[in-house]
Each structure stands twice: as structure tokens, then as C-alpha cells.
Amino acid sequence: MRRMRSWIAAGLLGAAACAGLALLAARDRGRPAGGADAYGRGDWAGAATGAREALKRRPADRDALRLLARASARLGKDDAAEAIYRRLGASAMQPEDLFLLGRGLLARGQPGPGLAALGAALDADPDHAESLHARALHRLRARSLLPAEDDARRLSGRPGWGPRARLLLGRIRRELLDPAGAATFLDDAIKDGPAIAASGADLREIRLLLATSLIEAARPAEAREVLRAALAAGPDPRASWLLSRACLLAGEAGEAGAALDDSGEGRDGADPLRSQPSPYAGASRCEPCHAAKFRSQQQSRHARTFLSGPGLAEVPWPSGIVEDGDAAGVSHVFRKGDGRVSVATRVQGRSFAAVLAYGLGSNHQGRTFVGRDASGGARELRISEYPNAPAWARTSEHPARPPDDAGYLGRPLGEESLRRCLDCHATNFRAALEPAGRPEAGDHGIGCERCHGPGAIHVRSAELHFADLAIARPSLAPADRVVALCADCHRAPDASSRPAEGFIRFQAPTLVRSRCYAESGTMSCVTCHDPHRDASRKASDYEAICLRCHPGSQPREAAPATVATPPGRERTWAPCPTRATRGCLDCHMPRIAEAVPRTVFTDHHIRVRRDEGPR
């Protein structure tokens, strides 16, 4: 594996430069005649046979080797194709070869070299449609949404690829929480029905996706029209369920009930975390029916994780010069005026400035700010606010010596990185970026709809006294799905990465290593934490929870079965042999000084923790 990656890394650098020239020359050389004709018809097996026949006559025929590699890749034989490409060498590969190699690597779970191969293909031929399509799809699945959108927009200009590009753009805009934009692209894609069908896409699925987007965009009449047309072709449980949502949003309880019955869904729904297609309502709409939980949640740190606009003026900005604690001759000055907050950073006589746009964090551990510099680019400020003195110090993960002087103002933040930051600090990142006309923009951080989903249909259902309340209810979900829901934010920024043993910065990926989690079958984040209020700071509160399953005053045989044990497993919870009734957290979940400066985190990997040092 390591040698294969080294080959790709070394070879693709040269391939990007050579492939453009090789492309022109290779077009004139042609392919092995019989195999080439079969390849042009899409007869991949015939092309492979023709290439093998040519190689019997001329074992060193590079065109035949290339054709065999391509045909093998098209047949899904990626390992065989890669072996042949290794014989050819990266410098001999053309954009199509680089695409096929990259696609195969992505399919085998190797995103680094796979994306490198696709990038090399696009360096050689910036309009290579298959490479654009493959990279956009991968980026969409990896939730690298703005780069995926860039690829899809480039793809839309390629002849014959417009319908597939519009379908991709519709899916991407949905993930970017822009249902109106998604509906426009999906509707355009459906109008190119024959081309979409020829690409292998399911027109029925696209119509249901369009209807879902229309409901989320608060356009129930249009959604009902699309869904009724779909149901005219025959019964469709999903279409009926979506029709029930559209009718609820339109205030038609009778028709909603009939559609729900046609769907075969129970009035309470089978899946407590099922995503509801709904516009947002804003947390304030929850208060009339859920007053106590609403007030508690609004006072919690979750509800204070995001600041923008007038909220930034409420920060206790330092009144004088803030000397940089890590670099002599560097200072920062904050100023309020004209309805905004700005920062100026001086570096050895040079000045760099930004207007603040967002504050991220509740300042329980700290709060970091994002500004726009003179070029309009986003920068994560070098200094952050902390609850303990000194109140202003270097932001986590910023180097003591940045690569250039502008880095003393802050670290450049791409728009995709900014979107990801906002995704975990606001109910709806799009409302944070574009607040006009969005009720959830009134949430100053994580509101009700971040965990329960958009709630406009739920509000309408309650008003209509409808039996199905149309809202996600995490309290009824299995433990693993509750942890996964919390892990949307309480995990490393790269969701595909698994933290090293002993790393405790993120709670969700460490909790799941615990025997308490794995063997109980019911333990989750909400076993110990009420998401509607701040986590308790009293050790005794958590020790009481431990003692429900590890009762220190009872023998093991009499331990009450308060936690479900998976079938076939013996109970393993015994009283602690060291201290049976107190001090659980000191040994099993200690608070640890982190590698993140000036912060302390609780280790959520429940175990007998040895002295592993800060992480």
C-alpha cells in the first residue's frame, strides 16, 4: 500500500505535465484496431479481448497495454487496471487513464491518491468531463460541498453533460441547505428526462427529491402537484408520505391523514430520527408548548455558540493595545464604531486589518472570531477570547510564527472551511451566512432545530391536532444513533478520521471505545447529559449515574438490571474494587490538560486510565 501510494505521488506530478502533450500525440497513433472499435462502442469485454490479442503479437505494445488497462477499469477490474498502469508508468497516462485510475482508487477507499489522480487528469485537460463528475461526486459524499459545486458548475458547460451536472447541483444545493436552489436545478434536470434516464439516474427518485425540496422551500402547492403526478402512475409509499407532509404544511389535515394512511406509516412514525422535509420555524416557535425546556436550552452554552452583527458589539473587547504573547513587535487593537467591530494588527510597522463577521464559541472554554480582510477573504483571528487571564491569547492550532506577516492578523479560512465552522456553531449555517428572511437566524447558536430538525411542519401539525407530530425525537432513538447525532459536531473536523488512542479532544469517538458503551447497548451521551441544559459540574451527579449499573452497596449478583445487556452476554458491571461509591471520575473519566492551549477536557473513554499525559 505504501509503495503504491509513493508511486502515485511521485508519478502524477510528472503525469500532469506530460499528459497534455501525450494526449495530442496519442490521438494520432490510434489504438489496436479491433479492440479500439469495441471500446468506442462501449464493448469493454470485446476491447479487452482485442487488446490481449494485440499483446500476444506485440508484448511491448503500449497502446494495447493502455487499452487493456482502460477496458479492465471500465469492467470494474480496478486491481488489474492499476497493475497494467504501473507497467505503463504515470508519464505515459493520458487524462482518461488518470481518471480511471483515480475512480478506482476512490472506490477502494483511497481518497488521497484517488483525488491526486483526478487532479492530474484535470491539470492535463481542465474540461475532462468524467474526471469533473467523479470528483464532484466524491466531494459531495465527503461533504466538501463548495468544491463539489465548483466542479459541477464546470461540468455543466461540457457538451452532453448538462443534465447530469444539473442533477448534481440540485443534490449539492440541498446539502447546502438551499432547497429553493435545489428545486430549480432538479426541475431543470427532469426536463431533460431522456438524457437523465440514459445516464442511469432514476427519474422517479429525482421527482421525489424535487418534491422534498419544494416542501422544505415552503412551496407545498407545487410539491403536491409533483407528488400527485407521481402517484397517478401507481401506489408509492414514499410519495404518499411526502404528500402527507406537503398537505400538513398547507394546513390540510384530512388529506394529510389519508396520504399518511396510504403510505403505510404509523401516525407516530417508525423511525424517531427520520429526517422531516420541512422549512425552519426558529426556536422561538417552540416556547409556547415546551416552555421549560425552551428556557433551559436558551440559557445553555449551546445556545450561545454563535455571534454576528449586533451581537459582536456585546463582547467585552479590550480597550487598549493587546501585545502578542508569542511575537515581539506584534500587537492587536480592537475598535467599535459605525455598527461594526474591527481589528488592526501591527507587525514591525506594517498594519493588517479585518472587520469582524462572526464569533464562534460560548467562551466556556474560549471564543474565536472570524473577520474579513481587505481582500474580502475570511480570516480566523490569531487571538481568541478566554474565560481566564489573560483574556486574549493565541488561538488554538495557530503557529507561534505564521508563514507571513499577514498571518499575525489571522489564518486564512476558505469559504468551505468557514461553512464547516458555522455548521457546528449555528442551527443552520446558511441562515448564519444569509440571515434575511430566515426565522432560525434568530437563534444565537445551536437551537432546537439543530437536533430535532426543521420544525415548521411540526408546529402546523400541533396546531391541527394531527396524530403524527412530524418531528425527530432523539430521546426515543437507539443509543448508537444518539451518539452519531451528537457526533455531527462533537468529533474531529474530518469525520473519516479516527483519533489516536488517548486523544480526548472530541467526546463521541472516544466514548464509543468504552466497555460501558459497547456492552450496555443503551448508554449514550444523554445517559449523563441533558442536551437542554449545561452539563453538570458536580462529580456526585455523574457518580450517581455510575452507581445505577455498578452498585457499590450490593453484591454483583444482586445488581439491578437497569441497563439492557445484549442477548448472550453476561453482566460485567461489578462494584469498583478500589472505591465502590465515590471517586469514579477521578480514575475512569479524569479531566485532562489538553494540547489545545488553556483548555481542559474530560476523557470520555471510560476505563482505568493510566498516566498518558495531555493530548
The answer to whether residues 590 and 484 belong to one domain is yes
Asked if the structure places residue 607 within a domain, the reply is: no
Where does the pLDDT of residue 568 fall: very low under 50, low under 70, confident under 90, or very high at 90 and above?
Answer: very low
Name the nearest CA neighbour of 317 among 337, 338, 302.
337
* Average pLDDT estimate for 341-359: 97
Asked if the structure places residue 285 within a domain, the reply is: no
**pLDDT of 5:** 44
**pLDDT of 557:** 38
* Average pLDDT estimate for 597-603: 81
Cis peptide bond N-terminal to 390, omega within 30: yes
Where does the pLDDT of residue 601 fall: very low under 50, low under 70, confident under 90, or very high at 90 and above?
Answer: confident
* Average pLDDT estimate for 457-474: 94
Q: Which one-letter amino acid corresponds to residue 106?
A: L
Q: What is the residue-wise DSSP string for 150-169?
A: HHHHHHHTSTT-HHHHHHHH
Where does the pLDDT of residue 551 fall: very low under 50, low under 70, confident under 90, or very high at 90 and above?
Answer: confident
CB proximity list for 154: less than 8 A, separation 6 or greater: 126, 127, 132
The domain boundary residue, chosen from 406, 425, 444: 425
Asked if the structure places residue 386 within a domain, the reply is: yes
Asked if the structure places residue 4 within a domain, the reply is: no
Asked if the structure places residue 202 within a domain, the reply is: yes
Please report, for residues 187, 191, 249, the alpha-carbon distance to residue 222 in angstroms, rounded to integers and kept in the order given.
11, 16, 12
* Average pLDDT estimate for 444-459: 96
Q: Which of 175-189, 264-278, 464-478 reaches the highest mean pLDDT? A: 175-189
pLDDT 10s digits, 84-133: 999 998 888 999 999 999 999 999 999 999 999 999 999 999 999 999 99
Q: Which one-letter amino acid corresponds to residue 54?
A: A
Instruction: State the average pLDDT for the chain.
Output: 88
Range with lowest mean pLDDT among 298-312, 410-424, 543-557 = 543-557
Where does the pLDDT of residue 554 fall: very low under 50, low under 70, confident under 90, or very high at 90 and above?
Answer: very low
The answer to whether residues 39 and 171 belong to one domain is yes
First CA to last CA distance, the chain:
29
The answer to whether residues 254 and 311 belong to one domain is no
Asked if the structure places residue 95 within a domain, the reply is: yes
Asked if the structure places residue 566 within a domain, the reply is: yes
User: Do 22 and 92 touch, CB atoms closer than 8 A?
Assistant: yes
pTM for this prediction: 0.87
**pLDDT of 289:** 97
Asked if the structure places residue 469 within a domain, the reply is: no
Helix (H) or strand (E) segment spanning residue 359: strand 350-360
Pair type for strands 340-347 and 330-337: antiparallel
* Average pLDDT estimate for 48-58: 95
Percentage of the chain surpassing pLDDT 70?
A: 87
Percentage of the chain surpassing pLDDT 90?
A: 69
Rounded Cα–Cα distance for residues 461 and 148 (Å): 36
The answer to whether residues 41 and 156 belong to one domain is yes
The cell numbers describing 93, all together, are 497516462
Q: Is a pLDDT exceeding 50 seen at residue 505?
A: yes
**pLDDT of 595:** 54
pLDDT 10s digits, 408-442: 999 999 999 999 999 999 999 999 999 998 999 88
The answer to whether residues 404 and 496 belong to one domain is no
The answer to whether residues 366 and 253 belong to one domain is no
**pLDDT of 615:** 44
The answer to whether residues 58 and 174 belong to one domain is yes
The answer to whether residues 248 and 313 belong to one domain is no
The answer to whether residues 189 and 249 belong to one domain is yes
Name the nearest CA neighbour of 424 among 488, 479, 365.
488
Rounded Cα–Cα distance for residues 317 and 392 (Å): 9
Name the nearest CA neighbour of 119 among 131, 130, 136, 107.
131
The answer to whether residues 484 and 374 belong to one domain is no
User: Do 127 and 25 touch, CB atoms closer than 8 A?
Assistant: no
The answer to whether residues 585 and 486 belong to one domain is yes
- The CATH number of the domain holding residue 81 is 1.25.40.10
Q: Is a pLDDT exceeding 60 seen at residue 318?
A: yes
Q: How many domains does the chain have?
A: 3
Rounded Cα–Cα distance for residues 278 and 284 (Å): 16
What domain range is 517 assigned to? 479-555+562-602
Q: In terms of pLDDT, which residue wins out, 551 or 24?
A: 551
Please report, for residues 337, 452, 471, 522, the alpha-carbon distance to residue 476 in angstroms, rounded to integers and kept in the order given.
49, 12, 12, 11
Eight-state DSSP code of residue 534: P
The domain boundary residue, chosen from 263, 298, 325: 263
pLDDT 10s digits, 214-224: 999 999 999 99
Helix (H) or strand (E) segment spanning residue 354: strand 350-360
The answer to whether residues 256 and 345 belong to one domain is no
**pLDDT of 2:** 42
Q: In terms of pLDDT, which residue wins out, 389 or 16?
A: 389
